[in-house]
Structure 1
Amino acid sequence: MFIGVSALSGALAAGLAIPFAGFAGQGSAQVAATVESLPKEFESEAPAVRSRILAADGTLIATLYEQNRVPVRLNAVAPIMRKAMIAIEDSRFYEHGALDLKGTLRAMVRNSTGGEVQQGGSSITQQFVKMSLVEKARTAAERAKATEVSYERKITELRYAIAVESEYSKDEILEKYLNLANFGAGTYGVQTAAQHYFRTTADKLTLPQAALLAGIVKNPTGYNPANDPARARARRDVVIKRMLELGVITVHQANEALRAPVIDESRVEPVPNGCANSRYPFYCDYVVSKLLANPALGATVKDRDHYLKTGGLLIRTSIDPKIQAAAQASIARHSRPTDSSIAAITIVEPGTGLVKAMVQSKPYGNGRHQTNYNYNVEKSYAGGYGGFQNGSTMKAFTIAAALAKGIPMDYRINSPEQIDLRNKKFRTCTGWTRDPTYQPKNSTHSGDLTMVEAARYSTNTYFLQLSERTGLCAIGKVAGKLGMYNAQSGEPLEQVVSMTLGVGYVTPLMLSNAYATFAARGKYCKPLVVTSVRDKAGRPVPGPGLDCKQVLSRQVADGVNRVLSQVMMPGGTGGHLRFGTRDMGGKTGTIQQNLAVWFSGYTPNLAAAAVVADASPPYKNLMNQTLNGDRIHDPTGSGTAGPLWESAMQGALRGLPVERFVAPPKKMIGNPNPPPDKKTPKPKPHG
């Protein structure tokens, strides 16, 4: 009896798409085998739920989804919406079991006389099973099997429907159905559909709104009002008339609903998907890259990506919209997307590693004057450009290495305009290195200088000789502890004779975070963009959190702060960039042939690195390239990149408390201006 009814109902429920004669050739044993092979329980997969990425203040940055869905409980769906769906899809839903044979026969007659499918032949439970099977499908073959027009599929759905009816109440089935259904325009579930089409919530839907949504489910593309308003109205009116026929609504209610406009296009609220549609697309891409590297989200990158777009995750990030806006305003003030050069800034919080802002001059996209490259991050991340040589910003690490070896700030070195370092041996971590042709020059002040003076003027010949005394290994180790490495290869910075004047490729993120370590008195924190992840049940998902450790002594960091703060005083290369009464340190950087210029600086509150560079091969000198629409006549760290840093930090620091650097030990300071007859102090022995 069950087999016969199953086969008959399958044909009827399919809208007679399969001729009844098609069953004549099927033996009862074959049909019985199909039924008996099915499990007695149905395991429905949790529906895909969109994930959200939030800024530090809780505002939305981006939505990620394969299906745009926000599940709701049945009591959060307007009763009129429930009635509309039941009326058009399964009016006897609360009266029958898994199969409504009477309703199926009625639908067959109505659909055949009406010339088109107006009422569903399958019960809501059967439809839920079909939707679930499609949802569980992972391959094209599985999806085709779940939607094929065949008696086997209808029998499969019916057997599963029986299992579902035995496991769940009618209300639970309706709730699952309303949350799983496709409502067109990329919206899944009644809550998202209400938000998209009417900018409301499922519990506030009106009769004409509910009728429209109930009608869409039968054909989400064909009945989408954005695709065909006339057809969508006709379908909505079928639902309204069916509700009147069933006595669900009054004649007056029906007439009012029929007169209502189908949709107000100005109220349609699309939900952008992915980082490309984010308000911070480059930062968003970087966040997603970090998430895809988290094994807690899945065994493989593919698994993590799927979970990220279907798991209903709530992802909180470090970005501060106010600080981001300040950095973006600086970019807008000092550069243009049409410039031949690029500009980029990253701002980091000392002591936490929280990345507060990340901006650049070229907007996100594939069009003219757009890019998919993120100029702030390493090449190992999605879209990461991989940095630029950092020029004299590297001198900060030489200062730290020298102070750590006991060389005081008043240590003097005769620093002429040019020195001969041909074949001069410099110690590395693996031995020695030399350059047979190296005869570097100063571009600024020369003379008998202290470390402080040489830093103020960025005197190359001083720091090259200082790096000979400290050894390149010491500089490399300091830089490595502060998170500096080759942003293209991931390898440690190369230890070459000119290391203190810039080496390898580094990013604004790496450099700002390294300088943040000085501001945090030697405490290095790995850059952090994802502060927390919670699943759709609100449970925390494991992931990297704050990761900080003391890598320099506080006294050494305090000493670096003292030296670099003098750079920001009148006469220093960063003197004209100083603002307010805050303590701040900084360093300029210009690389060979002026391919890139930097300014990296900090206060105890925030650290930032700004770069202006040629990012389009074949790389050219910045001289005569454009920035902010004007030709660059004299590319320098202070004059070209410095203004970007200055205005970004001015805005970013607004409202933050004024904090001070800690004074270094007196023996580290020494006497920066010893009497002429006093011998120059010698560095303490090391080893």
Structure 2
Amino acid sequence: MRTAERGVRSRARSLVVFLGVSVLAGALAAGLAIPFAGFAGFATQKAAVSMQNLPQDLETAPLAVRSKMLAADGTWIATLYEQNRVPVPLDQISPIMRRAIVAIEDSRFYEHGALDAQGTLRALIRNRSEGSVQQGGSSITQQYVKMSLIEKADTAEQRKAATAVTYERKLTELRYAVAIEKQFSKDQILEKYLNLANFGDGAFGVQTAAQHYFGVSAAKLTLPQAAMLAGLVKNPTGYDPTNNLKRAKDRRDLVIARMRELNLITAKQAADARKAPVIDFKKIRKVPNGCANSRYPFYCEYAVAKLLDNPALGSTPKEREHYLKTGGLTIRTSLDPRIQAAAQASIKEHAKVSDTAIAAITVVEPGSGLVKGMVQSKPYGKGRNHTYYNLNVEKSYPGGYGGFQNGSTMKAFTIAAAIQQGLPLTYRINSPAQIDLSGRRFKTCSGSTRDPNYRPRNSTRSGNLTMIEAAKASTNTYFLQLSQRTGLCSIATIAANLGMYNAQTQEPLDQVVSMTLGVGYVTPLMLSNAYATFAARGKYCRPTVVTSVQDKSGKPVQTPGIGCRQVLTPAVADGVNRVLSAVMEPGGTGGRLNFGNWDLAGKTGTIQDNLAVWYAGYTPNLAAAAVVADATLPYTNLMYGHTLDGQDISDPTGSGTAGPLWQTAMEKALQGMPLRRFVPPNSKITGGDGKSLPPVSGMSPGEATDTLSRAGYQVVLSGDRVNSPEAEGTVAYTDPRTGDRPPPGSQVTLFLSNGQN
């Protein structure tokens, strides 16, 4: 009897609660503030205060929409998201899907306001009898409010409050739900709900869920498919068919039964739907997330790093990353899949994943700075023979390796400095096999520098060489003397203007005596882009991987884009192109790398002790740099214990080791491109614009010095005596030679005869 009395009292209290909630709903709808303290024994003073302080409108967070990164031709590179979602308007959601979700979640959705009084009474009676909140009774509008508050929560405390099993939270939802119902139509609310809802297994929103589970759009969903998806919303994990197929089927069939009960479908439709398979696991479509799942992970990560530098995406890196993964952005990049494939084919042909040496190639378009390809021999990932390091880019970016010493590829900047100062391509310097530069001063931007014990040697041709001849042979002693005459500051300035700096420290390249033979650490991206400046006749363009960004509405988001400036005169660049094209002529260090009918120019680079070897080269169409190196610390000589393409590296050179990688990549990449030519240098660049050097052979050093000084030249006396028919102690010859036309102010070296013919 007592039990029965308690049941009657409990039902009575529930009825009072229901009436109270009904009154509350009416009051809220009318925008009234009413006291709640003591109401029906469940609304606390805290709830009363919070309800009265709530704003009229719910501020919802923008829907988290996945972003996509595309190649230059529009093909897919990567999808980036926090929640895998693609919103669609209600008219692109099948009617059966709309009926299914309404049937199972709020069958009277189109009949009631923010509160479903019948559903609330049912839930309250159940909850009062159990002594706790066991049943929701929430309308679709209230559920949308709850999901929105969870989506909007930034902290654990906010998320806890949005999901708290309390009447206070339900009243809060109700207040917001009333505002939502005033602001939007029922169809608009349903559209928002279906696009926001979690459908399990990483699928958010009905469009993504339809594509994920069934490989169809939301507009094409069938009855059994719609019923399955509708059943997921209540418990996306528990009813996920990939977790528990039986539970998913039971829930789907419950939705079908409810639709039949409401006469939304016929008995035959219900029976047929229950017989349909819940899911075909072969049709499940996982959307790969992030760069790690991209076809081009290293390139993708570098593009993301550039995006995270863009303040247009947010005021902090954290905000930019969030917007990048939730803003529904369309990111267009410079990557050309055909050129990328060409470079990758070269890696495959000339290197193996198991090699102890690494190989890397970057390809850039002259005149735009667009990075068309970026490849390396070590694949992305963890474990043996894999790496997360991008071997093509600077250390300042996440995953950037930070480059390698660049060797004689630096000579290109010395050539540019010499031409810029008026030295012609015919400029001769006596370049012996070994030269003593110990203590010799080299001018820098801040003064001068010297090496107390420096006696460099040539590994190739020596003699009295022109700039072109010295470049063909990569004669060290020529370029060291040339760099002394130009000064290191001019070389460093030109290199910096072409985007060269230390890729490890981001500091300017060191101005040291041996600068022209290689200095600091540079990357394939950096070097290929610098050489692209020569190809573009002196127009430098910063390397660009992100060409445009659009938000989810299609509006452009500000991006740095292509940025170019003229850093060398076209005439100077033309001269550099002529010198470096000679490198690829027969007899040049790059002569074996010539192909087709293209105008080609390039330069080898070999690091002291063979720690790395380079080949950088270009046509007017494309520029590329290839490196083979030891990428472990401490670096070791490539000749000892290292392999490339599965073979021991016995004689590492820029042309023989890195050169074939460059050649294969460029030859394949240039296929189908228009044939373009370098502009020949003018006669001033080629032969100089000065007067012919006065003849001084046979003169005494003093007489020769006076003669040349009056002609406007700086005179230096060589310490070496040379074989000559001239009398001992008199001038044997000069450097430059008589008949050359060095510009006024140039340095002329006197070589005295030893009297031996």
Aligned residue number for residue 21 of structure 2: 6
Question: Deviation of residue 111 (structure 1)?
Answer: 11
Separation of aligned partners in 1, 2:250 and 2:609 = 70
Alignment of 1:63 onto 2:79? yes
TM-score normalised per structure 1:
0.94
Q: How many residues align?
A: 671
Aligned residue number for residue 643 of structure 1: 660
Question: Deviation of residue 274 (structure 1)?
Answer: 0.9
Separation of aligned partners in 2, 1:574 and 1:85 = 70
Separation of aligned partners in 1, 2:601 and 2:255 = 70
Letter in 1 for 2:60: S
Q: Secondary structure at the match of 1:363?
A: coil
Alignment of 1:98 onto 2:144? no
Once the two structures are aligned, what percentage of the paired residues are identical?
68
Alignment of 1:634 onto 2:651? yes
Letter in 2 for 1:631: D
Letter in 2 for 1:681: D
Letter in 2 for 1:275: C
Structure-to-structure mapping, 1:46-85, within 5 angstroms = 46-85=62-101
Structure-to-structure mapping, 1:507-656, within 5 angstroms = 507-624=523-640, 625-656=642-673
User: 2:676 pairs with 644, 648, 659, which one?
Assistant: 659
Are the equivalent residues in 1 in contact too, given 2:84–2:202 (CA < 8 A)? yes
Separation of aligned partners in 1, 2:745 and 2:257 = 92
The 3 A distance-change label for structure 1 pair 521 and 30 is: closer
The 3 A distance-change label for structure 1 pair 80 and 562 is: same
Alignment of 1:359 onto 2:397? no
Question: Deviation of residue 615 (structure 1)?
Answer: 0.7
Question: Deviation of residue 335 (structure 1)?
Answer: 1.0
Separation of aligned partners in 2, 1:523 and 1:432 = 30
Q: Secondary structure at the match of 2:556?
A: coil
Question: Deviation of residue 686 (structure 1)?
Answer: 5.4
Q: Secondary structure at the match of 1:651?
A: helix
Report Cα offsets for 1:507-532 as digits up to 9, x if no partner: 00000000000000000000111101
Separation of aligned partners in 2, 1:613 and 1:398 = 24
Separation of aligned partners in 2, 1:306 and 1:546 = 25
Question: Deviation of residue 9 (structure 1)?
Answer: 9.6
The 3 A distance-change label for structure 1 pair 69 and 683 is: same
Q: Secondary structure at the match of 1:343?
A: strand
Q: Secondary structure at the match of 2:373?
A: strand
Separation of aligned partners in 2, 1:175 and 1:377 = 45
Separation of aligned partners in 2, 1:110 and 1:148 = 18
Report Cα offsets for 1:425-469 as digits up to 9, x if no partner: 111111110001111011111112111111111111111111111
Question: Deviation of residue 667 (structure 1)?
Answer: 2.4
User: 2:317 pairs with 287, 291, 301, which one?
Assistant: 301
Question: Deviation of residue 26 (structure 1)?
Answer: 4.2
User: 2:687 pairs with 670, 673, 687, which one?
Assistant: 670
Question: Deviation of residue 384 (structure 1)?
Answer: 0.7
Question: Deviation of residue 536 (structure 1)?
Answer: 1.0
User: 1:377 pairs with 375, 390, 393, which one?
Assistant: 393
User: 2:742 pairs with 679, 683, 687, which one?
Assistant: 683
Aligned residue number for residue 755 of structure 2: none
Separation of aligned partners in 2, 1:71 and 1:683 = 70
Structure-to-structure mapping, 1:215-614, within 5 angstroms = 215-614=231-630
Separation of aligned partners in 2, 1:558 and 1:375 = 31
Which shows bigger deviation, 346-355 or 536-545? Answer: 536-545
The 3 A distance-change label for structure 1 pair 298 and 90 is: same
Separation of aligned partners in 2, 1:352 and 1:186 = 40
Letter in 2 for 1:224: D
- Larger RCO (CA within 8 A; separation ≥ 6): 1
Are the equivalent residues in 2 in contact too, given 1:349–1:607 (CA < 8 A)? yes
Question: Deviation of residue 578 (structure 1)?
Answer: 0.9
Question: Deviation of residue 366 (structure 1)?
Answer: 1.7
Question: Deviation of residue 25 (structure 1)?
Answer: 4.7
Aligned residue number for residue 171 of structure 2: 155
- Aligned CA-pair RMSD: 2.3
Are the equivalent residues in 2 in contact too, given 1:599–1:645 (CA < 8 A)? yes
Aligned residue number for residue 103 of structure 2: 87
Separation of aligned partners in 2, 1:233 and 1:628 = 54
Greater gyration radius: 2
Are the equivalent residues in 2 in contact too, given 1:426–1:468 (CA < 8 A)? yes
Report Cα offsets for 1:340-375 as digits up to 9, x if no partner: 111110000000000000111111112221111111
For structure 1, the 5+ residue unaligned runs are: 11-21
TM-score normalised per structure 2:
0.86
Q: Secondary structure at the match of 1:589?
A: strand
The 3 A distance-change label for structure 1 pair 680 and 474 is: farther
Report Cα offsets for 1:585-632 as digits up to 9, x if no partner: 000000111110000000000000000011111211011401111111
